[in-house]
Amino acid sequence: MIEKLLSEKNTDPTLRKIGKKVVEGERISESDGVYLFENAPLSSVGILANYIREKRHGDLTYFNRNFHIEPTNVCIYSCSFCSYSRLIKKRSEGWEYSMEDIMDIVKSYDDKPVTEVHIVGGVLPQYDVKFYTDLFSKIKAHRPDLHIKALTPVEFHYIFKKDKISYTEGMKLMKDSGLDSMPGGGAEIFDEELRDQIAGGKCSSDQWLEIHRVWHQLGQRSNATMLYGHIENYHHRIDHLQRLRELQDETGGFQTFIPLKFRNKDNQMSHVPEISVIEDLKNYAISRIYLDNFDHIKAYWPMIGRTIAQLSLSFGVDDIDGTIDDTTKIYSMAGSEEQSPALSTYELVTLIRKVNRKPIERDTLYNVVRDFTDVKFEQDKQFRGYFDLPVVG
């Protein structure tokens, strides 16, 4: 297929030129990226993205066993795309967990083989540096092997400013208390004008990038996201990818890029229509092509739904996040098809196998926990328990 795209049979010389760059491992430019969004058919970007995906990972498709804790949905900010948060003046409509509440959730997973807890939520004054460092220390004391992936530059910028400490001091405190990695949230869209319109008041794009830079300089890893499909155009998307690619050249600390599709239920941007699945797949593919220095592209299934997550595996995606266990409300409240997002390991493995890819359980840092490629789990008693199937016989 790729030969046809590169040959004279392809009557678009610019697309041929970009295709040649991809095959030869040459980086595409910002104008190439915009050209792909504006002119290339889905099939062509799909072929190129899948070429890169298979060159890097073959058929391997990663997932993990994780759960989320959202300490609060009350927030001092009011991002216009957010369906999840409640303003402080309406805090009685939301939830605000105490340290004990959060530890009770952690403890409820004691007998489950999860490897990661993902903690993120609204921004509130009582959740300060001391609260989070105490929380991370307590989780580590209780379950040292559980990877803590928590908070974003949105919270960090706010709490460090309040305590009048630098990003470096603050991130060192987080690391020393047990924070293992940072998720990719809060990036939204980096273009300053748009960011101001949809996420005004929270940390700026430069501050978001700087906190990741500092974290990477401490030897730690993080993810990156982009909120797309709202009021941005293709130039804004490529600008966002370009800023991530530049920081990654500098630090190498990003593991995974996660495009997040804007969902429009019950938020201040409900009048903005959601974009089509064709656009979603194109966005995954072009992200894979553009971010040549990122190892992984993730389709977050609670946001996009499991069917499109399956499709995305042919458009550059090699990771579909984790079991989640119905512990996040961010997307169900924004109108995702996944109203109670939870998949057992068995279901995740089956979902990946059904589209002829090889399921690999990973930990947060992409170490292989278990290769499920050849596991015949229906017959295998040992794995029935592992797959959360009833152990019979």
Residue 365 φ/ψ, nearest 5 degrees: -95, 15
Residue 157 or 263: the one with the smaller Cβ distance to ligand V47 is: 263
Residues near ligand V47 (CB under 6 A), total: 21
Residue 60 or 258: the one with the smaller Cβ distance to ligand V47 is: 258
To ligand SF4, the closest distance from the beta carbon of 270 in angstroms equals 15
Contact with ligand V47 (CB under 6 A) among 205, 267, 323, 327? 267
130-138, 177-185, 238-246, 337-345 -> range binding ligand V47 (CB under 6 A): 177-185
Cα gap 195→33, rounded to integer Å: 21
To ligand V47, the closest distance from the beta carbon of 355 in angstroms equals 21
Q: Residue type for 290, please?
A: Y
Q: Report if residue 240 touches ligand V47, rule: CB under 6 A.
A: no
Cα gap 379→367, rounded to integer Å: 27
Binding letters toward ligand SF4, positions 116-145, x by CB under 6 A? ------xx----------------------
Q: Report if residue 322 touches ligand V47, rule: CB under 6 A.
A: no
Q: What is the DSSP string of 224-252?
A: EEEEESSS--HHHHHHHHHHHHHHHHHH-
- What H or E segment, with its residue span, contains residue 86? strand 86-87
Q: Report if residue 148 touches ligand V47, rule: CB under 6 A.
A: no
Q: How far, in whole angstroms, is CA 4 from its chain's centroid?
A: 33
Contact with ligand SF4 (CB under 6 A) among 15, 79, 129, 244? 79
From the list ligand SF4, ligand V47, none, partner contacted by residue 123 (C-beta under 5 to 8 A by kind): ligand SF4
Residue 37 or 127: the one with the smaller Cβ distance to ligand SF4 is: 127
Q: What is the DSSP string of 289-307?
A: HH-TT-SEEB--HHHH-HH
The CA-atom distances, in angstroms, between 145 and each of 47, 62, 115, 128, 369 are 39, 20, 7, 25, 13
Site for ligand SF4 in 140-169 (CB under 6 A): 154
Residues near ligand SF4 (CB under 6 A), total: 11
Cα gap 311→241, rounded to integer Å: 22
Residue 77 or 366: the one with the smaller Cβ distance to ligand SF4 is: 77
Residue 123 or 299: the one with the smaller Cβ distance to ligand SF4 is: 123
Cα gap 321→301, rounded to integer Å: 7
Q: Which two tokens mark 70? A: 């959202």
Binding positions for ligand SF4, rule: CB under 6 A = 75, 77-79, 82, 84-85, 122-123, 154, 202
